[in-house]
Amino acid sequence: MSTREMILILDFGGQYNQLIARRIRENNVYCEVHNYNDNVFELIKNLSPRGIILTGGPQSVYDDESTKCDSKVFRLGIPVLGICYGAQAMTYALGGRVEMAQVSEYGKTDLKIVENSRLFVNVDKKSVVWMSHTDKITMSPHNFNVTACTKDCPIAALEDSNKNLYAVQFHPEVVHTVEGRKILSNFVDICKCSRDWRMDSFVDETINQLKSKIGDKKALCALSGGVDSSVAAVLMSKAIGKNLTCVFVDHGLLRKNEADEVENVFKNYDLNFIRVDAGERFLEKLQGITEPEQKRKIIGEEFIRVFEIEAKKIGTVDFLVQGTIYPDVIESGLGKSAVIKSHHNVGGLPEHVDFKEIVEPLRLLFKDEVREAGQQLGLPENLVNRQPFPGPGLGIRIIGEVTADKVKIVQDADYIYREEIAKADIKNLGQYFAALTNMRSVGVMGDGRTYDYAIALRAVMTSDFMTAEAANLSWEVLSKVANRIVNEVKGVNRVLYDCTTKPPATIEFE
């Protein structure tokens, strides 16, 4: 049984499940996302949650094949909040009615609160919420009161306050729901959470757990030089000291000069550090491969194979350490949830791994929490706050087949882009990079015709990397970057700027 105060999020396949978790963590309350089908009552027994949230999902609760919620969940005496499909699942399980709506609601919708509710304390009586549903609740369960409505949804929120059961048809977790954070904070209060989730306690607790788990055995850390693997490496070093060896695999898909920079940073730490130059090996494996998921999985497997080779040189190594974080886990799919993309250290692992166990000390942290953990561990500011770089590297910033020539093109273009961003002293960007599209187009340079590639520039603003807005970079900066790239990078005659948000796009291109 867990001794940590927490809220359990039961996932029905919703696209916003990670956002719900993020919002609860913002209230200094620990939470975990689990698929509803994962032995739900055993989960509840082991985790002892203060509250339960049922997520949205793509199904219709009245369909024979849809995932139903066991009514016993609502008789445990634990506060429950159902969101969208979760609200419908609660209603259906407790004897209410859910039917296809005559008018579907998508996007921003005006909500009207019609009855006082602990869930709506200090929430404006009229506000804007985000709807995404084709079914609606047409009859409340016994003893439930309707607390909010919209023009086309007479039952937009309902509750049985005596049993601490709450349901909303809209999505309070997304930024488009104006009072959403307040609503979720009110649910945290309903759960009587003390809001004591702190990063310093997480760091101390994790170090002690790692000491106990690994003891005097050896571990090998997959070090990329990025924020996640760097924090994982230092955390492990605090726990097991010289029994940790950090292997930095230069797969030839890093940014320009980055391999040397990573090596120079970690020379200053009391770590066993090994650099492996494996660029040719990776390029050979990627030859002819164009499908993004396949590229990710190939790169993931090759990482493991290189680590296995290095581990045998060291001696008996029982544990492989990875910098997996919570968005990696969620985006790689939970049960019936959609796989957004297989992260190379989650869904990209091969079936056979020559280590007794994989250790992921950051597996339950979001990106900003990882940065906070890094600060608690004393990592330098420039490393903790460096922009993220994916494990597969430039392999997923090159659309289509990865070749040595393409790698050089995107390295040079990206270097120019980052250099100009630094010169312009732009500091509010969450992530920015250049990607090589697979599009070639006609251009003119000097008196000659060209038929070369287009580079796409990406820059986003984000706090948690679960959602992101395209940055509104000045035309002066963009035009300077474009001019430099087409003049200085051989093989490029066109530069584009990606202004898409996440969702519907992801931050990376593949």
Q: Which residues of 495-505 are buried (b: 16+ CB within 10 A; e: fewer)?
A: bebeeeebeee
The one catalytic residue in 5, 105, 159, 173 is: 173
Question: Where would I find the beta strands (DSSP E) of 233-383?
Answer: 244-250, 272-277, 319-321, 357-359
CA distances from 80 to 43, 89, 272, 444 (A): 15, 12, 48, 63
Are the beta carbons of 350 and 312 closer than 8 angstroms?
A: no
CA gap 276, 58 in Å, rounded:
45
Contact between residue 243 and residue 219 where contact means Cβ atoms under 8 Å apart: yes
Choice among 69, 84, 149, 153 that is catalytic: 84
Q: Is 221 a catalytic residue?
A: no
> Closest Cα partner for 138 from 97, 79, 101?
97
Query: What is the distance between the alpha carbons of residues 340 and 391, in angstroms, rounded to a whole number?
Result: 16
**CA–CA gap between residue 159 and residue 169 (Å, rounded):** 12
Taking residue 2's Cβ as centre, other Cβ atoms within 10 Å add up to 13
Active site residue 173: yes
Sequence-distant (≥ 6) Cβ neighbours of residue 479 within 8 angstroms: none
DSSP string across 160-185 = EGGGTEEEESS-TTSTTSTTHHHHHH
Residue 170 near residue 109 (C-beta atoms within 8 A): yes
- Catalytic-role residue among 171, 251, 343, 344: 171
Residues known to be catalytic: 84, 171, 173
